[in-house]
Amino acid sequence: MTAAARDEAGARVFCAAALTALGGEIARRVGVKAERDAPLARFTTMRVGGPADLFATVHNVHELRAIVRFARSRAIPLTLLGRGSDVVIADAGIRGLVVQNRAEGSQLDGERYVAESGMPMARAATETQKAGMTGLEFGLAIPGTVGGAVWANAGAHDADIAAILETADVLLGDGSEARLSVAELDLRYRDSRLKHRPDEVALAATFRVAAVEPDAIAARLDEIRRWRRDHQPLGIPSAGSTFRNPPGDSAGRLIESAGLKGRRIGGASVSEKHANFIVNDGRGSAADIRALVDEVAAIVERETGVRLEPEVVFLGDWSGSESAAPSAASSEAPDASTAGPAAARADS
């Protein structure tokens, strides 16, 4: 679809009558309710963001698969949200259809743990601990979902998804499904094939786990909880780590060394507790946050020569913003509000 064709399709989709009709069709064909002009801030950990033209929540893989295929068949811009971490949604909101992924089914099959893509990573960690299976403890420190974690090859506490993932079930751009290996997913530091193929959607993942005494795993989870409490600004709206760590260094160290802890624009500030977190005092806007991200990156580059790359993804309609164009589109967390039928995935 050409840009002109997308613009023409978008004009049709965004009129009130068309949105109402599409909402009714989603209810009939997919079986979920679609809400018009739904405010999105409540669905993100940063607590900012304007409305979605249409918003729906899916609760299982069947609904997720169906609504993605529906959006593609109508060339509707589609954004998928998990738990809303690792993203900043524009104050103007997101055009098209936003789908919250609450597909949270899971099962343990011997030394394999299978989870649908909307399963919170923290819950995966506690579920496997209660079953006496080790491997997913680091998920307790990841605020997003299984789908977002696969998309980003998320990691924490010296572990990452690539080390324990066996396969991921993916809805491909042509509507077929495939079970992809780690090699096929091309998992790298905070990267995967899904980030570069916005029409591919993770449906579920299978992880390798191993039997260990549940008390030993519980002790490790307690250790992670204590570390997070001592080192991260918990209980304050944020998107998680703001920047990716550059090779051989720490983004937080570079930001702190540049004297930027406490740096503020509007209601957004660099955390005094952890310099790689930008927090919202409750009065911040998406524009405040984005401006501060840009300013921090510019100052660190000027002071150190290192260009920090954002880990957070800027979603939605930033056309009226003074900031540069949004981050590159990806399958689990891009700005694809103008990407026609492609699925933008967020969350992480």
CB 341 within 8 A of CB 1: yes
The 10s digit of each residue's pLDDT in 191-222 is: 999 999 999 999 999 999 999 999 999 999 99
Reported confidence tier of residue 324, pLDDT bands at 50, 70, 90: very low
Query: In whole angstroms, what is the distance from residue 126 CA to residue 108 CA?
Result: 13
**What's residue 330's pLDDT?**
32
Strand, coil or helix: 273 = coil
Q: Which residues of 312-345 are buried (b: 16+ CB within 10 A; e: fewer)?
A: bbbbbbbeebeeeebbebbbbbbbbbbbbbbbbb
**What's residue 9's pLDDT?**
44
State yes or no: pLDDT of 120 exceeds 60.
yes
Higher per-residue confidence, 8 vs 131: 131
State yes or no: pLDDT of 154 exceeds 90.
yes
299-303 mean pLDDT = 98
C-alpha distance from residue 260 to each of 233, 257, 264, 274 (Å): 16, 8, 9, 11
Query: In whole angstroms, what is the distance from residue 145 CA to residue 159 CA?
Result: 16
Q: 311 catalytic, yes or no?
A: yes
Reported confidence tier of residue 322, pLDDT bands at 50, 70, 90: low
Find, among 134, 25, 28, 45, the residue nearest to 87 by Cα. 45
State yes or no: pLDDT of 107 exceeds 90.
yes
Check residue 191 and report its DSSP letter.
B
Active-site residue, from 192, 241, 321, 331: 241
The 10s digit of each residue's pLDDT in 282-294 is: 999 999 999 999 9
**What's residue 239's pLDDT?**
97
Whole-number average pLDDT of the chain: 90
Reported confidence tier of residue 58, pLDDT bands at 50, 70, 90: very high
**What's residue 175's pLDDT?**
93
Query: Phi and psi of 344, rounded to 5°?
Result: -90, 130
- Rounded percentage of the chain residues whose pLDDT exceeds 90: 86
Query: In whole angstroms, what is the distance from residue 43 CA to residue 35 CA?
Result: 14
Q: 190 catalytic, yes or no?
A: yes
Active-site residue, from 190, 208, 228, 244: 190
State yes or no: pLDDT of 237 exceeds 90.
yes
- Rounded percentage of the chain residues whose pLDDT exceeds 70: 88
Q: Are strands 313-315 and 87-89 parallel, antiparallel or unpaired?
A: parallel
Active-site residue, from 116, 137, 311, 332: 311
Q: Of 10-14, 96-100, 339-343, where does mean pLDDT reach its minimum?
A: 339-343
254-270 mean pLDDT = 98
**What's residue 17's pLDDT?**
86
Check residue 266 and report its DSSP letter.
T
Higher per-residue confidence, 145 vs 13: 145
**What's residue 14's pLDDT?**
65
Query: Phi and psi of 277, rounded to 5°?
Result: -115, 130
CA dihedral 334, 337, 339, 340 (to 10 degrees): 140
Reported confidence tier of residue 321, pLDDT bands at 50, 70, 90: confident
Reported confidence tier of residue 80, pLDDT bands at 50, 70, 90: very high
Stated pTM of the model: 0.88
Write out the DSSP string of 195-253: GG-TT-EEEEEEEE-EE--HHHHHHHHHHHHHHHHHHS-TTS-EEEE-BPPPTTS-HHH
